[in-house]
Amino acid sequence: MFERIKQQILKPQTFLNIDAPLMADKGNQEINSSLYPLALDYYHDLNPCFSFNINSLALLKKFPIITFRDGAFSFASFMTQNHAHFTGSDQLILIHKEIEHFAPSHLKKNFLSYQMTQTHRLNIKNAKRIVIVGVLSDQVLEDGHLLEEKLSLLDQISDDATIQLYLHSRKGPFQQFYQESTLIEPFKWKLFQRLKRQPVFLTSSTLLNLNNLGDTFVINLQPNRFMIADTYLDYLFASKGATISDWNLSNFDNSELFTHPISLYHQIEISPIQKESVYPDLILKKKLLNRNNLITDGHYWSLARQIF
Amino acid sequence: MFIFKKSSLLNSKKNWFNILMTKIAFFYSFTPSNWISCQKIVANLLKSYKMIQGNDHKYCHVNNDTSISSLLKQIKEVREWGAEKIIFLDHFPHPTSVLSYLQNEYEFETKKPALYFHIYGDFSLYYKTWTACNFLSKWNIHWICASDRQVEYLKQLVVDQNSVSLCPFPVDEAEFSYNKNLRNLQRQEWKRSDEDKILIYTGRLSHQKKIHTLIKFFAQQKLRIPQLHLYLYGEFDNLGDPFVGFGTTEGQYFSKILRLLKTLPKETQDAIHWMGGVPNKQLKNAYHGADLLISLSVHHDEDYGMSIAEGLSCGLPAILTDWGGFSSFARLEIKEWIKLIKVSLGFKGRRISLKELNTLGELAIDTMDFAPKTKISNTSLSYFSLESCKLKLEEIHQLPLKPFAGFNSLFHNLVDIHNFTPIPFIDFKRNKINSIYSKVYGPYVRKN
C-alpha cells in the first residue's frame, strides 16, 4: 500500500484538481464555527479532509487516497452511515493512529493509520514561549481529568517563559442545540490557578499570525482524539517550528512506517492498522438507536464514547 | 523690589523652546506587526524621526484591538496638545480607522494638522478603504513612498502629483552593516569551508516570491559549480497570487517545492538548506557568511524589500528581479554588483526573463568573490541609513502642502473593479490578464 502512497505523492490526484463541489461551500458551518480555528483547511498530497464537510460521496470515490482529520466520533458517525460506499472500492483511507480501532473490520485492507511527528522537539523546560490553545465546550471538558494531566506540564516551565493564551468558549461542536455550560468557568479557574503568572491573551488574528516559533511549546487543550484528531493549529504551529505537546519525535529507523514531510519541521508517519476493530459494536449501537443523523445525536455520542 | 525667580526663567525658556518646536503626533501599533519586515520598518522610521531636531513628539497606539473609546481619547489629546502634523507610520490597521474620528474631532477647527502617510506594499489591497480619504479635502495630505517605482505607481493614482515623495525605509546600521570578522564565524556555524560558494535568500517562501524559479536556477548553476550552496531563511506561506485568481491552501506551496526537489540530483538537494524563520541577529550573521544575495520575487506588494536592504547593508552583491522597489537598490556606484533581471507584463502576468537570469545570474556568481563589500555596504547605507532617511524626511517635511485634491480616474476605476470582483486583473472571457493590470503595474517594471 505504501507504493500507492508514493505514486500519489509523485503525481497527486487531489481535491484541488477538480472544480466540482466535493466539499460543501464552507463545509458544515455549524460544526466548523464551533471548532474554529481547529478545523480550518490545510493541504498535503494525501487529501486531508473532515467527513462532516463532504458534499458528494460519488466524487470522493474518485480519489485514490484520502486522509480523515476527524476524531473518533465524527469518523464513526460518518462510517457507520456510509460504509457501503466504500465496500468493493480500492480507495486508500488514512485515519489517525489513536482512532484506528474505529476502522471497519470488513474494510481493513482499505485502511492505514497516521500520526504527525517532528524532526526536532524542544523540552518544555527550555521553551521561551508557551502557547496554550483551548477551544472549550462541555463536550471537550467531559474529559477534564485528561486536561488536568496536560496542565501538569505547566509545572515544568521556566520562570522567564511567557505564556500566551487562546481560550475561547464555544457550543459543543456535535451538540444539536446550544446549552449553557457548567464546566467551562470552573475549568478556567483551575487553569488560571495553575498558571501562577499573568498570561498574554491572544485574539484569533494574533494567534494565526504568530511567527518564529522555534523556541515555542504548544499545549493544545483538546483532551484526546475523540472530537478532532488533526487540528489546523497543530499543523500551523508545527510548520513554523513549534513543539506540539501531544506529538512525538520522528522515527526514521522503522521500515514498517512510511514517512512524508508536511512542512520543514514535521511529517506524517503512516503505518498499518494494528488495533482490533470496534466497528461491529458501533454498528450494533447504530441499529439499536435507529436514527438517521448521528453526528449531533447525544445518545450516539455517549455510546461511541464508551467504546472509545 | 523685583525678585528674580530662577525657576520662572527656566520655565519661560522651556515655553519659548516649545513654541518653536513642531508638534508631531505619530499613530502606529505599539505591538509589533505580524509582518516581520514591517516590525523593523516602523521601529526604524521612528528612530529616524527621533533624530530630527526641533520637534516635539506624541505617540499614539492604534491596532486592531484598540477600543473606540481609547482611540477617541488619544485623538482628543492630540488636538488639545496642538499637533501640527500627524504621521501614520504603520501599515496596519489601515489609517482610515483613525481618519473618520479625526475628522469629527477637528470638524470645527479652522487649522487642522497636516497628515503624512508612509505607504506600504499593501496599498493596492485597500483601494476601497483608501476612498475614505476623499472626505479629507480640507486637510493637507502628503504621501511618502519607499522606492522610486512606488512613487511612480502612486503618482498615477492621485490628482496632485506633488503630494508624493520618496523616503526609503531605513536600515539601522547598528543592526546591519559590514563586519568582515563575521564571515568565518558564520561559516563555522554552517560547517562550510571558505571555498564553498553560498547564495542566500531571506523572506517569505511563497508563490509570488518565485522560490521554484530560484531553485531551478540554483540547480542549473550547481551543475557548473559543485561547491555552490543555497541557504533559505523564512517560512512558507499560502499567499498565492490572489490578484490574478491563483489562491493556495496552507501547505500547497510547500508540497510543490518538495516535488520539485525530488526531481533534482541528490547533491543539489543536499546543497539547499532550509533554515526557517530566525531572529534578526542571526540574519546579520547569515548575510555575512554568504557570498551573494538572491531574490526573484515578483510579489505584488514588493514596494521596497527590507530584507534586501539589510543584506546589502552587510555588503552582499545581489541578483534581484527588476520589479517594484528592488530597482532602487541598484545605486549608480555599485550598479555592476546588483544584477537586475528583467520582468515583463504579458497576457499571463509577470514573467521573469530567463535569458537575463541565466546570463546575468551566471555573471554574478562568477564574480561574487571580487565584490567590494565595504563599498556595497557604505553606498547602500548612504541611501537608506537612519541618518540619510532623517535628512530625506527633513526635506519632505519642509515641502509646501496643499489640501488633498483627491484620487484620479484610474484609482476610481480600480475601486469599481474591486467592488465587482476579488480577482481584479483577469479578463475571464479571454482567460488572460486584462489591460488595466499593465497600466497599474506598468511602473513596477523596466521601461525598455
Which residue, among A125, A299, A106, has the nearest Cα to A215 in the 3D structure? A125
pLDDT for the residue numbered A24: 64
Cell of B364: 554574478
Q: Distance between CA atoms of A33 and A53, rounded to whole angstroms?
A: 12
Which residue, among A50, A80, A53, A31, has the nearest Cα to A289 in the 3D structure? A80
Q: Distance between CA atoms of A73 and A53, rounded to whole angstroms?
A: 14
Given an 8 Å threshold on Cβ–Cβ distance, is A9 in contact with B250? no
Distance from CA of A148 to the nearest CA of B (A): 31
- Chain A residues whose CB is inside 8 A of the B276 CB are 214, 240-241, 264-265
pLDDT for the residue numbered B189: 97
Q: Distance between CA atoms of B23 and B113, rounded to whole angstroms?
A: 9
- 3-class secondary structure, A92: strand
Rounded average pLDDT per 10-residue block, chain B, 448 residues = 45 50 92 78 96 93 88 95 95 85 91 95 87 86 96 96 97 96 97 97 96 98 97 92 83 95 97 93 96 96 94 98 96 97 90 97 97 98 97 95 93 90 82 86 90
pLDDT for the residue numbered B321: 98
Given an 8 Å threshold on Cβ–Cβ distance, is A42 in contact with B276? no
pLDDT for the residue numbered B9: 46
> What's the gap between Cα A300 and its chain centre?
20
- Chain A residues whose CB is inside 8 A of the B64 CB are 203, 205
pLDDT for the residue numbered A123: 96
Distance from CA of B235 to the nearest CA of A (A): 7
| pTM summary value | 0.91
User: Distance of CA A83 to CAs A77, A99, B370, Å?
Assistant: 10, 16, 68
Q: Give me the residues of chain A with pLDDT under 50, please.
A: none
Distance from CA of A35 to the nearest CA of B (A): 18
Comparing CB atoms, the residue among A209, A241, A262 nearest residue B34 is A209
Distance from CA of B34 to the nearest CA of A (A): 6
Which residue, among B206, B203, B144, B143, has the nearest Cα to B169 in the 3D structure? B144
pLDDT for the residue numbered A21: 62
pLDDT for the residue numbered B142: 96
Given an 8 Å threshold on Cβ–Cβ distance, is B278 in contact with A212? yes
pLDDT for the residue numbered B423: 83
- Chain A and chain B share a number of CB contacts under 8 A equal to 66
pLDDT for the residue numbered B422: 80
Given an 8 Å threshold on Cβ–Cβ distance, is A239 in contact with B249? no
ipTM of the complex: 0.91
pLDDT for the residue numbered B3: 44
Given an 8 Å threshold on Cβ–Cβ distance, is A211 in contact with B34? yes
Question: Is A206 in CB contact (< 8 Å) with chain B?
Answer: yes
The tens digit of pLDDT for each residue in A119-154 reads 999 999 999 999 999 998 888 888 777 888 888 899
Considering only alpha carbons, which residue of chain A is nearest residue B32? A206
* Residues A267, A117 contacting (CB under 8 angstroms): yes
